[in-house]
Structure 1
């Protein structure tokens, strides 16, 4: 049994359908929901279908409460069960919501516990991750431990925690320095969740007030470019490419709808996990950062209309950038929160084209910097805005494409028209895949200006 090394962690098994694993009695495991607790206190949740097809989906949930999940939503779970997939996922043991320190071990241990319930080794195991869990699954694609056959990352933080912290710091630096120069609002090294929440509230108030003037709107657009924030509010028509005013309004509304608060409060959780600050902007060239952004034309137009000197603002940001990283925190996140080393198994990433929390440009950075072998990595893009707002048909068609690659060694057709046609057979609404090429990640490690 290839998972015996982890079974020691799975010491307590509790199930909704039986008190003990059916495999212990030599019987087939009962279909339905199964739960358990690992030795380190993490919990796991799994589902077994009526007729198992031999595949286990190891689901990694995103940033948030440490509760076990084994699928992105109930509708997708029911479709997967109907097709014969078994699935399992852990809560992570944390202790913070940024649970990358333990997530890989917790996921593998949950898989072992679930395999004991199944009573048989899976023919294949696919790691499926959502948001922060996408980083967990991407790391498993680089470190499969002989147990993972492929990885499907959805809205995943595939560029890793170091990049996430850095470009979000760039945007926050722009907001505080340009909207309230000289005002002391902490951006890093938070001593408590309350301090981070207070900082988020102060920055939100600055942005709200600035939106009332042309000067403020231009500077918000500059910060949005540094955040890699697309100007498209979910559920509304996408603004035209040259409609910079509407794009900026959408960026502002997105920031105020919760993205800005999460940029700040999420950092506090990452710092707590890493034992310090991993982000820096000292010696960052903000002219170069903006020059590398696809949104630079929007920023230039709004600055021109407001009568502001963009070059002067960028020079001010460069001159006042003095935040340095704690080396131990950088080392910690590099180890725990970046996908490193060669890609060992096929990896398929799907992403919406406008994601306020995990910008699609992360996929571009991963493809260029994380050593993914060209024959093992592919990416697909969904024509909508929002974080992790995939339809079940999009999940299922992507999973089947990845399984084809795992089984045959060759990728099937990934043309959007073919995928959308294949997914149209599922109940509900058809997939929205489109041909798309993400631009470069502004503020990423190794990118211009940083």
Structure 2
């Protein structure tokens, strides 16, 4: 059964005046720059900018995206969506940053501004990439009465707490095994973020020149469930390494950590600094974590690469795992954990359909987090409302226009019919090619079990406790 969505304030006002909503919407907004649509923009009560564009022949669906007001009008996807009759828009993250709870609420507020200008949307869909994907999934959980569906793409669906615990594991392993003698903080990130990012990348580049360094880089990447595939420095795709190609997989791990235009370590430094500032402390911990067990939860191919690289370097893997076990642990600030819990811990509580899209080679929103989200949805008995899809692409949110358009069109079909259409890779790839002429890269995929699932067991009303 479709969860009934509340009418927008504009519809209520228009109906009270005895005027049809379509007449009210016809003259709303101003011509959009560069696209055939009418636009409205402004600021929410907290100062967050919003922008929406509605085509003349509107299909009744509106997409609300965390990052749309930061240049979304100029994107090829926007042009494709408007051409197909979708209204598109949303906010920016400039004010909320890592205050994810506020960003989630802002999507509902922005939808209200759209409906005040253009009338009630038949289908309101929360959609976005990266942090926008996390926010879209949060909207589905928090505001099912305002939205009809959500399409999180490349989002951190392990939730803010789980995602940043896993990033701590990766950096902690590198620091312990490779950089004990270097001033490379794991938490408590200083103000000179660019300087620290460069120090981390330089240290990693040096470690990559030795057999021992490669072995320990691979171990850290496997513990952090990073892909063994990355982008070159210029952002171009590298070949997908064969599973038995030890050097190729390790090179991919290194590129995921320290190469390409958005290295994992660069984002781990900059976003952790931002989170620590807004949360008032460190929200991550590894007390009680068994890194030998974490390694055992990595993809089998990555475990094999680690073992073979350790043998090649003449290192003792058990000894290094023992060093990790003996290293003093990082403790979290409970108030900072509570802040991240509010924005957001996923519970699996779905009342509207959700379609996720994630790249198998995404180094920022690691693909194992999708397993955590799906497991919680199944545990809550809501699997009929979820479909999860995967795209064979390296890098963060590196989808084609057609791959994104195909997912959005599938969701609109789901909303119109009340039933899930086919979301198998063959169908998704055909839709992608039809949208922009480029063959889609959807594929069958089963992600590994997320090794820092939070909550690990049990939940109640999105409030959790942790023990250190």
TM-score normalised by length of structure 2: 0.85
Contact 1:59 1:70 in 2 (8 A): no
User: 2:33 maps to which residue?
Assistant: none
Q: Distance in 2 between matches of 1:412 and 1:201?
A: 47
User: 1:43 maps to which residue?
Assistant: 49
| Within-5 A mapping of 1:26-425 | 27=27, 29=29, 31-61=37-67, 68-69=69-70, 71=72, 74-92=75-93, 94-95=95-96, 97-118=97-118, 120-181=119-180, 183-190=182-189, 192-194=190-192, 196-234=193-231, 235-257=237-259, 258-294=263-299, 295-340=302-347, 342-370=349-377, 371=380, 373-425=382-434
Contact 1:347 1:377 in 2 (8 A): yes
Displacement, 1:206?
2.2
Contact 1:149 1:346 in 2 (8 A): yes
Contact 2:126 2:149 in 1 (8 A): yes
Q: C-alpha deviations, 1:176-233, integer Å up to 9, x for none?
A: 111123555321133x431x44443333232121111101110011111122211212
Aligned-residue RMSD, C-alpha: 2.5
Q: Residue 197 and residue 322 in structure 1: after superposition, are their counterparts in 2 closer, same or farther (change >3 A)?
A: farther
Q: Distance in 2 between matches of 1:141 and 1:72?
A: 24
SS at 1:434 equivalent: coil
User: 1:11 maps to which residue?
Assistant: none
Q: Distance in 1 between matches of 2:25 and 2:409?
A: 34
Displacement, 1:162?
0.7
Q: Distance in 1 between matches of 2:44 and 2:143?
A: 20
Contact 1:56 1:87 in 2 (8 A): yes
Contact 1:144 1:344 in 2 (8 A): no
Q: C-alpha deviations, 1:367-408, integer Å up to 9, x for none?
A: 113547110011111122121111111111111211222222
Q: Residue 153 and residue 68 in structure 1: after superposition, are their counterparts in 2 closer, same or farther (change >3 A)?
A: same
Q: Residue 159 and residue 72 in structure 1: after superposition, are their counterparts in 2 closer, same or farther (change >3 A)?
A: farther
Displacement, 1:55?
0.9
Unpaired segments of 5 or more residues in structure 2? 1-5, 13-21, 31-36, 232-236, 458-467
Contact 2:168 2:286 in 1 (8 A): yes
User: 1:14 maps to which residue?
Assistant: none
Displacement, 1:52?
1.0
Residue-pair matches, total: 425
Displacement, 1:431?
1.6
Q: Residue 401 and residue 215 in structure 1: after superposition, are their counterparts in 2 closer, same or farther (change >3 A)?
A: same
Displacement, 1:286?
0.8
Q: Residue 173 and residue 442 in structure 1: after superposition, are their counterparts in 2 closer, same or farther (change >3 A)?
A: same
Q: C-alpha deviations, 1:247-296, integer Å up to 9, x for none?
A: 11122133222321111121111122222111111221111111111121
Q: Distance in 2 between matches of 1:88 and 1:99?
A: 20
Q: Distance in 2 between matches of 1:331 and 1:377?
A: 27
User: 1:15 maps to which residue?
Assistant: none
